[in-house]
Amino acid sequence: LLDPISFFAEKMTSAEIRQSFLDFFREKQHSIVPSAPLLPSSPNLLFTNAGMNQFVPYFLGTEHAPYDPPRAADTQKCIRAGGKHNDLEDVGYDTYHHPFFEMLGNWSFGNYFKAEAIEWAWELLTKRWAMPKERLYATVYKPGEGDPADFDQEAYDLWRALFEREGLDPDVHIVNGNKADNFWMMGDTGPCGPCSEIHIDLTAEGDTKGSLVNQDDSRCIEIWNLVFIQFNAETDGSFRHLPATHVDTGMGFERACAVIQGTKGGSDFSKLASNYDTDVFTPIFDKLTELSGKKYTGTVPAVGRRDGLSEQEKIDVAFRVIADHIRTGSFAIADGILPSNNGRNYVIRRILRRAIRVARTIGLGSDAPLLPQLAPVVIEHFGDAFPELKERSDVILENLETEELSFGRTLDRGISLFEDAADKLDDGQPFPAATVVKLWETFGFPLDLTQVMIDERGLSVDAAELERLTQAHKDTGDAGDGPDTISAVTIDTHVTSEFIGYESDSVETTVEEWIESDDHTIAVVSKSPLYVEKGGQLGDTGSVLFEDGHEISIIETMSIGDALCLRLAESPVHRPNKLVVSLDTERRRGIESHHTATHILHWALHKEVSREASQQGSLVAPDRLRFDFNGKALSAKQISAIETAVNERISRNDTVSWQEVVHADIRDRDDIMQFFGDKYGERVRVVQIGGETGDLTGWSMELCGGTHVRNTGDIGLFKIRSEGAIAAGIRRIEAVCGEAAVNYVHESIDLLKEEIQAALDKLTAANNDLEKAGADGIAIPSVDVEELEGDADINGINALLVELTCHRDELQQAAIDADKRLKKASAGAAAEIASEWLEETLATVEDGSPKRLVGLLPGDNPALIQETLTGLKRRQFDGVAVLALVADDTVHIAAVVDKAHTSQFQAGKLVQELTALVDGKGGGKPEMARGAGKATDKVDAMLERARELIA
Ligand code: SER
């Protein structure tokens, strides 16, 4: 028989488990706070990776926790993936690792400490959630040689007393751990302290006596980490005591659900509890089964086994990978982390591509993209706890679909390239690293995805060779992790070419190979000045010149391995081994202006808005730039301040220089912008603006592989065209510079002048009408648009734009006012006319029941119809009336019938029939109806028919 608590716990859904955690701590006076977004506010983090991230200032004491008492609890969305420690490859092969997970946590900010944290954790687990206490173990910090701080005697004593009280042997249930396991640090620096973790024995017998604690064994897992924050890890490696002590706890939500749901509320351990056997994942599995006809059976390969899996084992791994990754992807996209080629965005792309590939190989999907069909389950199931999923469901589905379609285009060819290469290998021969790189470059296969495929076949790859090959691509300092475009061409070449386009626009070169591919001829050259699209900067175009004077345009440059390949617009008759390659310099100078302007914009954004506003993506084209950053909407004042700052820097005509440096030498310099942490190669390129050439003292310095102008003055004018949101917390600036900016400014000025003139004309016309109607006109602001001129510099132009905008707004408002006044005046006039007309007409109407009136109203003011209807009502006209008026080439018709006669005549029916006679439409209620038609020549016939109808 189950005890009552187990019985209750067993029935809890995951939503109820989450809620019961929050309720428990609410009862203990904790404020319940929302999860922070996955996009971290700290520039040093790839993703929000712990519940405590959002509370760091409270721990450091730089801000006060705004809760009374200073306690909080929440469930925090976390992603731990990417960066150095990346166990993405393990996902799906075990039951409890997820890149995305929820972390339930409770916090004390200088309030309660170890005693309460330990006591309450125990109470929640054993009393409310019915976890068998004899299966629980607590770890305590015991420093090793050189580790910080002392043995955590306080925690040890508290646990000892607790276990004794519960009748359990403290010597068995307390396990000591060193710095790696029991000293929690957010990163190399920041708030930290010793921790006590609670582990649960999930074996059938539950008699492991602590021997599996911290052994990376799925039969004994950590469920809750209680961190006692006491120190701040400083940059010099020392640990400074914080002014107050704090509590930071984190419990894996999915693991808690697994333990509660997978053990029948702590009563049945015959089957190993798995995160995937909970309703966190089963709704996604159900949908996958519905779509594929395949079933999840929960088999898990032995630790480390990747190859030779049975069909069902493969299906079960695939189900776990897909269900895990669709959750990660949906939550990330909802928080504005869209799959693309850099940094955290590339981590999301890698995760989604792995799901797409595994679905394809296992035959889980059909032709329609799978992920957008699964995401609605995630949105529905988690949308109450995380409303951003529902709010941004369109963006989620759209991005998933785009990602799946674009990867799908090359996926099959990539898979077969992989299979062919793998089939050719002799026993024990490593998989060729060059093919891994090719899959990455040409087919968009992230490196870790290919690693998974290699593991699945029980193969290996030469890691050093792979490192060497991939490094070559990263050495430009462009931290793109993959190619921006997946070229549809399959080219095999091993040429090593030199890019000389930082210095030269044109070069004589040898053609190493001529390749025919699809419809094009490709020249693989030893040297080329044409930039290959990368890091947001568009690729160059140009031409090749043959000795005989023949010239052919280059429509695209690609880099394949180390080779630069020029795709030509036409196939040359002769294929010499020498030619001259030149780039389209005008286009390139435009690109360079916009690229350098992007760096200055980034600098200005830090100066005028925030240091935290960092680049999320960019596009650099010959005639425009796009810059995405994280942050809030910019005010008009900020936009103008940014423009002014950028233009001021341009006018200084500072030198733009670049140089290659060893990354390790500059990695810690925060005056050099670098966003991709460890992902840079050994040597990187720094682009510096200002300072002395090459001494790294510029006011703007950024790691960048792109091309730039030589002096900021070359940029000319800079102008922002728009600023807006593209995702939650992500803004986009679109700007132009040089000639494009001057053109844009001229267009804006012309447009404003046109709008001013139009408003002026409208106002004059309205004033004329007002005069005719005998009413006062509106004062016309005096503006002579032609007189308005700005100074040539940006301040002069901006002042002019502002002045013109003010005039336009003022005039448009005046025109609106005049229009209103005119309407009022004409309504007044109409009321008078209607009244006169009614006096005259009603005098001629025969007495009777009902009275009958059919009439064409005078003049061409449509307001007259309404005024006449009002007049009839006021005179309590008891009968049936049909009114018509011709205005603006339209016949307006109205009918009224007093209530007493609606059984005899219905206004709606009358109008319906009459409007049809003037090629129009209309209708309404029995008492009142209106309509209109275009056939003004048929008015008389229509009125004749009206008389007949009501006779
Ligand atoms: N900060 C600790 C962790 O992330 C406890 O919340 O594990």
CA 344, distance to chain mean position in Å, is: 11
Q: How many C-beta neighbours within 10 Å does residue 349 have?
A: 23
Ligand 1 centroid to Cα of residue 214, in Å, is: 16
By most ligand atoms within 8 Å of CB, the mutation choice from 47, 103, 192 for ligand 1 is 103
Ligand 1 centroid to Cα of residue 116, in Å, is: 17
Q: Is 194 in the pocket of ligand 1 (CB under 6 A)?
A: no
Instruction: State the amino acid at position 101 in one-letter form.
Output: F
Dihedral angle sign, alpha carbons of residues 590, 591, 594, 599: negative
Ligand 1 centroid to Cα of residue 226, in Å, is: 7
Distance of alpha carbon 727 from alpha carbon 387, whole angstroms? 15
Distance of alpha carbon 892 from alpha carbon 512, whole angstroms? 80
pLDDT per residue as tens digits for the range 734-780: 999 998 898 888 888 888 888 898 888 989 998 888 888 777 888 88
Atom of ligand 1 nearest to the CA of 250: 6
- Cβ–Cβ < 8 Å for 201, 220: yes
pLDDT at site 474? 53
Distance of alpha carbon 51 from alpha carbon 184, whole angstroms? 13
Q: Is 198 in the pocket of ligand 1 (CB under 6 A)?
A: no
Ligand 1 centroid to Cα of residue 324, in Å, is: 21
Distance of alpha carbon 354 from alpha carbon 633, whole angstroms? 34
Q: Is 105 in the pocket of ligand 1 (CB under 6 A)?
A: yes
Q: Is 70 in the pocket of ligand 1 (CB under 6 A)?
A: no
By most ligand atoms within 8 Å of CB, the mutation choice from 248, 253, 255 for ligand 1 is 248
894-908 average pLDDT score? 93
Pairing assessment for the beta strands 100-109 and 71-79 based on DSSP bridges: antiparallel
Distance of alpha carbon 830 from alpha carbon 867, whole angstroms? 6
Sorting pLDDT into bands at 50, 70 and 90, what band is 797? confident
- Cβ–Cβ < 8 Å for 346, 447: no
Atom of ligand 1 nearest to the CA of 51: 6
What backbone torsions phi and psi does residue 204 show, to the nearest 5 degrees? -60, -45
pLDDT at site 485? 30
Atom of ligand 1 nearest to the CA of 49: 4
Instruction: Name the average pLDDT for the chain.
Output: 88
Distance (Å) of CA 660 to CA 14, 473, 687? 53, 15, 9
Distance of alpha carbon 110 from alpha carbon 63, whole angstroms? 12
Tell whether the model's pLDDT for residue 293 goes beyond 70: yes
Sorting pLDDT into bands at 50, 70 and 90, what band is 63? confident
Ligand 1 centroid to Cα of residue 58, in Å, is: 15
853, two tokens: 């009136």
Distance of alpha carbon 869 from alpha carbon 638, whole angstroms? 55
Residue corresponding to tokens 């630069």: 564
Distance between terminal CA atoms of the chain?
Answer: 90
Ligand 1 centroid to Cα of residue 272, in Å, is: 25
Ligand 1 centroid to Cα of residue 62, in Å, is: 20
Length of the chain in terms of residues written:
951
Ligand 1 centroid to Cα of residue 164, in Å, is: 27
Residue corresponding to tokens 């950590």: 222
Distance of alpha carbon 27 from alpha carbon 582, whole angstroms? 73
Residue corresponding to tokens 């150095």: 84
pLDDT at site 540? 93
Sorting pLDDT into bands at 50, 70 and 90, what band is 654? very high
Distance of alpha carbon 825 from alpha carbon 716, whole angstroms? 53
Tell whether the model's pLDDT for residue 480 goes beyond 80: no
Least confident of 45-49, 81-85, 399-403, 443-447: 81-85
- Cβ–Cβ < 8 Å for 778, 763: yes
pLDDT at site 2? 42
Distance of alpha carbon 843 from alpha carbon 625, whole angstroms? 75
By most ligand atoms within 8 Å of CB, the mutation choice from 52, 54, 76, 196 for ligand 1 is 52
- Residues sharing a CB contact under 8 Å with residue 261, sequence separation 6 or more, in sequence order: 10, 12, 14, 273, 277, 278, 279
pLDDT at site 791? 62
pLDDT at site 475? 44
Q: Give me the residues paired with residue 138 across strands.
A: 174, 198
Least confident of 485-499, 534-548, 594-608: 485-499
Instruction: State the amino acid at position 20 in one-letter form.
Output: S
Ligand 1 centroid to Cα of residue 380, in Å, is: 28
- Cβ–Cβ < 8 Å for 152, 141: yes
Residue corresponding to tokens 């003055």: 713
Sorting pLDDT into bands at 50, 70 and 90, what band is 882? very high
577 versus 799: the higher-pLDDT residue is 577
pLDDT per residue as tens digits for the range 209-259: 999 999 988 899 999 999 999 999 887 888 999 989 999 999 999 999 999
Ligand 1 centroid to Cα of residue 247, in Å, is: 10
Distance of alpha carbon 130 from alpha carbon 17, whole angstroms? 12
Residue corresponding to tokens 């935290």: 612
421-428 average pLDDT score? 90
Pairing assessment for the beta strands 174-177 and 136-141 based on DSSP bridges: parallel
Q: Is 330 in the pocket of ligand 1 (CB under 6 A)?
A: no
Distance (Å) of CA 726 to CA 56, 580, 598, 640, 733? 28, 43, 18, 21, 10
- Residues sharing a CB contact under 8 Å with residue 724, sequence separation 6 or more, in sequence order: 633, 731, 732
Ligand 1 centroid to Cα of residue 114, in Å, is: 15
pLDDT at site 494? 79
Distance of alpha carbon 272 from alpha carbon 217, whole angstroms? 12
Residue corresponding to tokens 């728009």: 722
Sorting pLDDT into bands at 50, 70 and 90, what band is 373? very high
Ligand 1 centroid to Cα of residue 74, in Å, is: 13
Number of H helices, E strands in the chain: 25, 29
pLDDT at site 400? 94
pLDDT per residue as tens digits for the range 306-339: 888 999 999 999 999 999 999 999 999 999 898 8
Sorting pLDDT into bands at 50, 70 and 90, what band is 583? very high
Ligand 1 centroid to Cα of residue 624, in Å, is: 44
- Cβ–Cβ < 8 Å for 892, 885: yes
Ligand 1 centroid to Cα of residue 298, in Å, is: 29
Directed axis angle between helix 447-456 and helix 343-362, to 10°?
A: 30
E-state strands within 132-270: 136-141, 174-177, 183-185, 190-201, 220-233, 239-252
pLDDT at site 824? 80
Nearest CA to ligand 1 atom 2: 250
Q: How many C-beta neighbours within 10 Å does residue 307 have?
A: 11
Distance of alpha carbon 593 from alpha carbon 714, whole angstroms? 7
- Cβ–Cβ < 8 Å for 306, 455: yes
pLDDT at site 343? 75
E-state strands within 501-609: 506-517, 520-525, 527-528, 542-545, 551-560, 563-568, 578-583
482 versus 433: the higher-pLDDT residue is 433
99-105 average pLDDT score? 97
**Three-class HEC string of 743-808:** HHHHHHHHHHHHHHHHHHHHHHHHHHHHHHCCCCCCCCCCCCHHHCCCCCCHHHHHHHHHHHHHHH
pLDDT at site 728? 67
By most ligand atoms within 8 Å of CB, the mutation choice from 107, 227, 246 for ligand 1 is 227
Q: Is 227 in the pocket of ligand 1 (CB under 6 A)?
A: yes
pLDDT per residue as tens digits for the range 335-367: 989 888 777 888 899 999 999 999 988 887 667
pLDDT at site 360? 87
Atom of ligand 1 nearest to the CA of 225: 5
The CA dihedral of 724, 726, 727, 731, to the nearest 10 degrees, is -40
- Cβ–Cβ < 8 Å for 727, 608: no
Ligand 1 centroid to Cα of residue 225, in Å, is: 6
Residue corresponding to tokens 């054993």: 126
CA atoms within 13 A on the CB side of 50: 22
pLDDT per residue as tens digits for the range 436-456: 988 887 788 988 889 889 988
Ligand 1 centroid to Cα of residue 903, in Å, is: 79
pLDDT at site 260? 94
Nearest CA to ligand 1 atom 3: 250
pLDDT per residue as tens digits for the range 451-474: 889 988 889 998 888 888 877 655
Atom of ligand 1 nearest to the CA of 50: 4
Sorting pLDDT into bands at 50, 70 and 90, what band is 478? very low
Q: Is the peptide bond before 850 cis (omega within 30 degrees of 0)?
A: yes
- Cβ–Cβ < 8 Å for 379, 389: yes
Tell whether the model's pLDDT for residue 487 goes beyond 60: no
Coil, strand or helix: which one is 29?
coil
Report if pTM > 0.75. no
pLDDT at site 612? 82
Nearest CA to ligand 1 atom 7: 250
Q: Is 50 in the pocket of ligand 1 (CB under 6 A)?
A: yes
Q: Is 52 in the pocket of ligand 1 (CB under 6 A)?
A: yes
Distance (Å) of CA 271 to CA 298, 835, 932? 11, 91, 77
DSSP for residue 934: S
Least confident of 15-19, 177-181, 591-595, 858-862: 858-862
For 348-372, give the DSSP string: HHHHHHHHHHHHHHHT---SS-SHH
- What is the largest distance, in Å, between two alpha-carbon atoms of the chain? 116
By most ligand atoms within 8 Å of CB, the mutation choice from 249, 251, 253, 255 for ligand 1 is 249
Atom of ligand 1 nearest to the CA of 105: 6
Q: Is 138 in the pocket of ligand 1 (CB under 6 A)?
A: no
- Cβ–Cβ < 8 Å for 653, 712: yes
Tell whether the model's pLDDT for residue 47 goes beyond 80: yes
Nearest CA to ligand 1 atom 6: 250
Q: Is 249 in the pocket of ligand 1 (CB under 6 A)?
A: yes
Atom of ligand 1 nearest to the CA of 52: 1
Ligand 1 centroid to Cα of residue 455, in Å, is: 32
Q: Is 48 in the pocket of ligand 1 (CB under 6 A)?
A: no
Residue of 757, 517, 733 whose CA lies nearest to 619: 733
pLDDT per residue as tens digits for the range 696-728: 999 999 999 999 999 999 999 999 988 887 766
Ligand 1 centroid to Cα of residue 51, in Å, is: 6
pLDDT per residue as tens digits for the range 109-144: 999 999 999 999 999 999 999 899 999 999 999 999
pLDDT at site 488? 36
846, two tokens: 């025969």
Q: Is 647 in the pocket of ligand 1 (CB under 6 A)?
A: no
Distance of alpha carbon 726 from alpha carbon 259, whole angstroms? 40
Instruction: State the amino acid at position 845 in one-letter form.
Output: V
Q: Which value, in Å, is the radius of gyration of the alpha carbons in the chain?
A: 37
Ligand 1 centroid to Cα of residue 73, in Å, is: 13
Ligand 1 centroid to Cα of residue 118, in Å, is: 15
Sorting pLDDT into bands at 50, 70 and 90, what band is 674? confident
By most ligand atoms within 8 Å of CB, the mutation choice from 77, 214, 225 for ligand 1 is 225
Pairing assessment for the beta strands 190-201 and 498-499 based on DSSP bridges: unpaired
For 34-51, give the DSSP string: PPPPSS-SSTT-SS--SG
Nearest CA to ligand 1 atom 4: 50
Run of H or E including 829: helix 794-844
CA 484, distance to chain mean position in Å, is: 18
pLDDT at site 82? 65
Q: Is 250 in the pocket of ligand 1 (CB under 6 A)?
A: yes
Distance of alpha carbon 192 from alpha carbon 246, whole angstroms? 10
Ligand 1 centroid to Cα of residue 714, in Å, is: 51
CA atoms within 13 A on the CB side of 834: 24
Q: Is 76 in the pocket of ligand 1 (CB under 6 A)?
A: no
Q: Is 228 in the pocket of ligand 1 (CB under 6 A)?
A: no
